[in-house]
Structure 1
Amino acid sequence: MSATQRIPVPVYPSLENISTQLSLPQLLDLHLEHNPEFPLYVFANDESDPDRLTEISILEYVRVGAGAGPQPGEIVAIVAVLDSFVYSALVAGMIKVGLVPFPISTFLPPDTIAQLIQGNNIHRIITTDATLHSFLVSIRENLDLTYRAECIFEEAPGLSILYPKLGRDTSQDDFSPLSNPFFPTDEGKDLALCMHSSGSTGVPKTIRFTHRAFKSFALISDMIHQTGRKSRLTSLSGKPIRIAGFGFLLLLLLFHSSAVFTLIASALYGPSTIAVFPPAVTQPGALPVTATPDNTIDHLKRTKATAILCFPHFISMFARDEKAIEVLRELDYVITGGGFVPTNAGDQLVSRGVRLRVTRAATECGGPTLISTEDLDPEDWSAFAFTKRVKVRWIPYGGGLFRCQFLVRIPFDLK
């Protein structure tokens, strides 16, 4: 779709109650029927034509998984280096056909990855051999000999395979939807996705999400309600909502729950348009664009984003850059989390009119904090509140401290 076309007002999927909320496979079908032209991703093209944008419509995104038949239940690991919207399509396409994708960090040691693979009885691993060859060899060597013989390391489909027309796909193009589509029969038991903990407190653990648990991410997300629902696709500035997701996409970080939530859950359950870096993995051995403070600000301007999620480290850098401040103050939200934001950096940005929000989140529960706090003084930017969609209990921990517990009815399988 051309970025100059009028953005269609989408049909919104229900987020009122988890029992009526659609699972991801159902959601993709709803969008294909009602919102095929909605721009899911947008990126700026090369610098020779900086004003030209490319949009990936929901139609083009959903077609990625159309060629496969239903394959319910099998967990498939992803240990690969891919562009963000290619990685996203790979994960969503797997879920659509009933596979259970397991994005795994390439920052983990090979022996740890081997443990995750073998511990979850995984026999298919999607990879990019040209960029990770020696790393993948080490993973294989750490698998038991007999188990290794049963594993298949498959090359991830490339950009030209998943997006052959890259932003130019239309409903008139050939398309054969799944003849026997997959839908979870028991959302409380059927797995949708696996992720792993960071390993900061020990060996990384597998976190298994059922379809019901995965869609609960969207139910409690204030970002989805604020940017996709409350505003009805109109930002504070009057521009179409466009969330910049590249501010936290450091190289190889697409395994992280923040990326999965932003690029898939927020994009599809909003629906919201996510601004991403242009594709760079166009041939074997190529690497995605790595986010830096400078290229983040550059692509913020070029993609006309109205909000951004970024690392705390970037906040410190932005606070010392006058040009960055001028760009950020025009946004609806500058959202950060996952680390400490220096008080002087946050105060500097807020004093210049930047709408800074700090969120708290976890792989197990998503992002239960509010990003829109109309009753909060801008100077209290480091404060946060929990959405009423989650039940919070504070347990005395001693020394005037309390342990925060989120009460859920959805079991999480930790292994």
Structure 2
Amino acid sequence: MKVALVGSRYFAATVFEALRNEEGLQFSSIVAPADDDRLALAARAAGLEVHVLANPKIVPAEAIAEGTDLIIAAHTHARVSNEALARSRLGGVGYHPSLLPRHRGIAAVEWTILEGDPIAGGSVYHLADGWDAGAIAAQDWCFVAKGESARELWERELAPMGLRLLTQVVRDAARDGRLRADTQDPRFATRAPMTRKPVLQTDPQIAANVSLVVTVMGQDRPGIVRLISDKAQRFGANWTDSRMARMAGEFAGMVHFEVPREQADALSAALRGLESSGLRVAIAQSEFDRLHGGARGVSFELVGDDKPGIIANLTRMLAERNISIEHLHTELIGSDAGTQQRFKVVAHLRLPPQITREALRADLAVLAADMLVDIALDEEPEPVRQAA
């Protein structure tokens, strides 16, 4: 049986090692989001070629070899395209760490804890259009321990469960030549969008973890991200959020780690040790970010002709209203000869309780008219995701 494995990080690498030991199974394709991803490194160490995605949001048809029997998605945030699925005789399946249709979304484990569910579970489901909505191929459950964090639940039960379920589905498909497919009941579907704070079943007075915000800069070269992630893994840190880019030949990255309190100083020292390799490292340590009560998230996009003052005017207006900028991305677009460059801003904001969405929309409309730009405002978006 020929299997294509699409995934990333620890879970995908673990699935790869498990399936390597299955008798009669061959890997037709290995698909990873980056050259230094753990799945890519494990596959190359085993002598296999790896397809690195040009677009981290989608798996194209050419990533899946002809003659594939089944696609396995293991911790991938890239959607497996319909054209890619068409190359697989049995289509594709992914593992989702919830009892689907409950907690469809990118933060299923976190919402299991937030909702106080006494029972959690995992589901292997058919990849299809929709938010984790495909038919169920395999499912199992477990108890949630009192005071357990989302990460602890994942590591204790849900990751081993996913490995076991995916392996069993592959075995059954090889034996029977087909997959079980139990339709999900949409009446019981709930959503699990990304949450921006660590989740515990109880809220202890002193958090077990602290935040490290790490900024790294230096001449771009392969392996910088791997160096950072290896240090984090060694000291038990959770890589929660990051922004990275290559600009004018220089690498610039910012990462937010959640690290056990007792390991924070050791991790900071290890990361500063990267300066010996020519990188510049700055680290800020703090308690976990706790949003002001009633704060609401909104996102907006601004597009207009490039000219001085856009960012200055925008940030001045937001600061005057005590609106926080959680993240902001800018870029120049449309640089064809004979046309003026366009300036684009994408940002996520936190509104204080006294600022309504309607008031912000009105203020942005005035600003857009003054600067001759287009501004679109949305409520906090839910990220598109297909497989955990």
Question: Is the TM value for this pair above 0.5?
Answer: no
The structure that has the greater radius of gyration is 2
Structure with more strand by fraction? 2
Quick one: higher RCO (CA 8 Å, sep 6+), 1 or 2?
1
